[in-house]
């Protein structure tokens, strides 16, 4: 009986190999590798702050892969502060890596979810997660938690940056936006 089963298995394998239905190494898809790089406060406007998230993606495959979009979340103690999409598509060439940056807008109301003592914490921890949506030669692929990192943030330093930007905006020439000198009064050439 054992020999009969082995013959059937061997016959099936032989038929698969003969018809080309066996796994073709050129058609296999290897998982891309993602690495969190940085999360930095970049500015504020109205009722939200802007943060830049940087990560790299490496494509170990023999064909290019399109990163169609990503779904990001920033969490503190399992509370989601921000959840959003980055619809910017990039193509990662075969055997290449690429640095990807995205801007995340965090509503100021989200900061109210944080505990009061966090503002003096020089090592506050946040989790950054991202699901990747890829388009490959084998079809669409979703990679849950492609990016998953714990970020340590010096909260007093971030509050100081925010305060400095508020003061700069408050005491700037009327109608002037941060970094825009088009509405400033003419300077005396002397």
Q: What confidence tens digit (pLDDT) does each residue in 49-58 have?
A: 888 889 999 9
For residue 101, which phi and psi values (nearest 5 degrees)?
A: -120, 145
pLDDT at 9: 47
Q: How far apart are CA 48 and CA 45, in angstroms?
A: 6
On the question of pLDDT at 175 being above 90, the answer is no
Give the contacts of 24 (CB within 8 A, at least 6 positions apart): none
34, 56 Cβ separation under 8 angstroms: yes
Burial class (CB in 10 A: 0-12, 13-18, 19+), 167: exposed
22 — pLDDT class (breaks 50, 70, 90) = very low
Mean pLDDT (whole number) for 103-117: 85
Model confidence, pTM: 0.68
Tokens of 90: 């990039």
Rounded CA separation 171/182 (Å): 16
Backbone angles phi, psi at 116, to 5 degrees: -60, -35
User: Strand, helix or coil at 123?
Assistant: coil
pLDDT at position 92 is 96
* pLDDT confidence bin for 27, thresholds 50/70/90: low
Instruction: Compute the distance between CA of residue 87 and CA of residue 102 in angstroms, rounded to an integer.
Output: 10
Percentage of the chain exceeding pLDDT 90? 38
Q: Which pair of tokens denotes residue 87? A: 């619809």
């Amino acid at each position: 009986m054992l020999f009969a089963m082995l013959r059937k298995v061997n016959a099936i394998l032989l038929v698969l190999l003969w018809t080309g239905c066996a796994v073709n190494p050129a058609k296999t898809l290897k998982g891309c590798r993602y690495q969190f790089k940085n999360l930095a406060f970049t500015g504020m406007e109205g009722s939200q702050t802007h943060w830049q998230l940087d990560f790299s993606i490496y494509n170990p495959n023999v064909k290019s892969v399109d990163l169609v979009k990503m779904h990001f979340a920033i969490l503190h103690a399992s509370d989601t502060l921000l959840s959003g999409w980055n619809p910017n598509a990039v193509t990662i060439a075969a055997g290449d890596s690429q640095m990807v940056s995205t801007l995340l807008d965090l509503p100021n109301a989200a900061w109210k979810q944080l505990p009061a003592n966090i503002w003096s914490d020089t090592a506050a921890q946040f989790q950054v997660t991202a699901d990747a949506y890829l388009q490959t030669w084998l079809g669409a692929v979703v990679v849950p938690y492609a990016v998953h990192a714990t970020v340590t943030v010096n909260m007093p330093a971030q509050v100081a940056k925010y305060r400095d930007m508020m003061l700069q905006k408050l005491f700037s020439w009327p109608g002037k936006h941060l970094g825009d000198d088009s509405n400033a009064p003419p300077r005396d050439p002397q």
